[in-house]
Structure 1
Amino acid sequence: MDNGFSVEFLGNPDDQTKRIPSLGEIGLNNFAPYIMNRIMARWNSNLAEDMKARDVTTVKMRALAVLNVSSSLTINELSVFAVTEQSTMSRTLDSLEEQGLVRRVPRADDMRVRDVTITDEGRAVFEDVWPIMYNDMCRMFKDIDDEEYRTFVTTLHKILRNIRRHDI
């Protein structure tokens, strides 16, 4: 079965007849998860540095970003979209709510479920940090044209579908 890889060291994980290459044979610079981790660690570090002066942590920024484009989400949904543990998101929302940046409202049909929405104040904070996020992204994709970017995002979506545990 063809797995779609053109690189010879990537094989079909279901084929038990082939030898699995060592990480040394693949090399860290060809091991995509390693490269993705390096990129995201640098991205998060840069953003954390930029957000510090605004008293916005990376998790707060992610929550505000997601809520800025979503009308309302549960804590579990927000945790998935903001890529953080539910317990961390819960503590983050406590802080954001104390700052007046989000609102948690019990659902009328199920009081156990709370919908989280961004307030006008939260939207203003996000609008303040958005140019920083956008400029950091543009710097990250410097010298990458529109077609390369679209292809890259398409590939990332395929990878996400392959490893996804949530429907969202």
Structure 2
Amino acid sequence: MTSDNPNPVDPFDSTTPQYRAYFPEGSRDDVEFRLTRILSLSARRWGTHVENRMMAATGQSRSRWQTLFVLSVATPPITTSLLSARLAIQWPPLIRTLNSLESDGLIRRVENPTDKRSRYIEITAAGRAVVEQVQPILSDIRTKVFVNLSMQEMELATRVLEMVVAGVNEAQQDNDE
């Protein structure tokens, strides 16, 4: 992927006076902005790269294989509400994905015997086969993307990102109150 940015190491033009008017050099605001910007940029690029590779190799969209993967590792029974929370997506797009997966025979929805308003979602053997097809591709992508990171760096990055997610969750709860 090519970029119009003459300095891809600094995708924010952080040395310009316009940038520094918002974010003085070395300030917490500067570091917070660059961190959130690189989080967004890396997530978007990761998602696009994985989506393109997965579609080409398996024909499965990200929403489909991520849903199947979560179902494949979950302890049954799993409800739509629980699946929605684990995927961090809202109901309308999840329901569309579930409808598509069910029509393709990759999942089935069964009645919840304790709550008639709720249904359990189960992955089928065909759905597990898709997960088995997806996993080696994801593993290869991760290996190539993280080749220059040590185990310690990946563990540190994971801890930092977990703290970011926790901070976002706390901020959302504060806004909900």
Q: TM-score when scaled to structure 2?
A: 0.74
1:45 aligns with 2:51: no
In structure 2, the partner of 1:123 is 128
> In 2, distance between residues paired with 1:112 and 1:78?
16
Cα drift, residue 83 of structure 1: 3.0
Structure 1 ranges of 4+ moved more than 6 A: none
2:65·2:130 contact (CA, 8 Å) conserved in 1? Answer: no
Cα drift, residue 23 of structure 1: 4.3
DSSP-derived class of the 2:116 partner:
strand
Which one of 54, 59, 62 corresponds to residue 55 of structure 1? 59
Deviations 1:65-99 (A, max 9, x none): 11111033221221222232211000000000011
Which one of 55, 58, 73 corresponds to residue 69 of structure 1? 73
In structure 2, the partner of 1:91 is 96
Higher helix fraction (1 or 2) = 2
> In 1, distance between residues paired with 2:165 and 2:122?
26
Residues 162 and 27 of structure 1, relative CA distance in 2, 3 Å threshold: closer
2:106·2:123 contact (CA, 8 Å) conserved in 1? Answer: yes
Give the paired residue count. 146
> In 2, distance between residues paired with 1:94 and 1:153?
33
> In 2, distance between residues paired with 1:95 and 1:22?
49
Gaps of at least 5 residues in structure 1 are 1-20
Q: How is 1:3-152 mapped onto 2 (pairs within 5 angstroms)?
A: 23-25=22-24, 26=29, 31-53=34-56, 54-72=58-76, 73-152=78-157
Give the percent of matched residue pairs that are identical in Structure 1 and Structure 2: 27
Pairwise CA RMSD: 2.2
Gaps of at least 5 residues in structure 2 are 1-19
Q: TM-score when scaled to structure 1?
A: 0.77
Paired residue type of 2:117: R
Deviation larger for 45-54 or 115-124:
45-54
